[in-house]
Amino acid sequence: MRYRKLDSSGDYTFGNQQADFYRDNPEAVGQAVMTRLRLNKGEWFIDIADGTPWNTEVLGERSAATRDAAIKKRILGTPGVVQIDSYDSSVNPETRRFTVTATITTAYGQTSISENL
């Protein structure tokens, strides 16, 4: 798996030739997971069925029963992910932040992801 690295602001990195890519390592899969989680369902014009169902299953007052299952399904559907070893999520209603922390086993080893979404 070859995956272009993102910088701290989420933009592609350029100018360093092969150093701008992850190649066959857990970080590539971890970045792919985060990219897939950030894609809102219906946002990609080529496939409007793809994406995380933020509005229908994750966000909102009555989504507690569906949010974790939707996020886990999205993680497991990422190419290179073998299994989720640990998973935790929390909602902070004051800051309106949803935090996901997971450790995943990939085809290349284990990695951790943590993101405020």
**pLDDT, tens digit, for every residue of 24-33?**
999 999 999 9
2 belongs to a structural domain = no
Counting the structural domains of the chain, the total is: 1
Model confidence pLDDT, tens digit, residues 30-77: 999 999 999 999 999 999 999 999 989 998 888 888 999 999 999 999
CATH of the domain at 99: 3.10.450.40
* Rounded (5°) CA angle 52-12-39: 5
Please give the full DSSP string across 48-112, using - where no structure is assigned: TT-SB-IIIIISSTT-TTTHHHHHHHHHHTSTTEEEEEEEEEEEETTTTEEEEEEEEEETTEEEE
> 97: domain range?
25-116
In a domain, residue 62? The reply is yes
1 falls within a domain: no
Q: Looking at the domain assignment, is residue 41 inside a domain?
A: yes
pTM of the complete model: 0.89
In a domain, 8, yes or no: no
Q: Which of 44, 41, 32, 42 is nearest to 2 (CA)?
A: 32
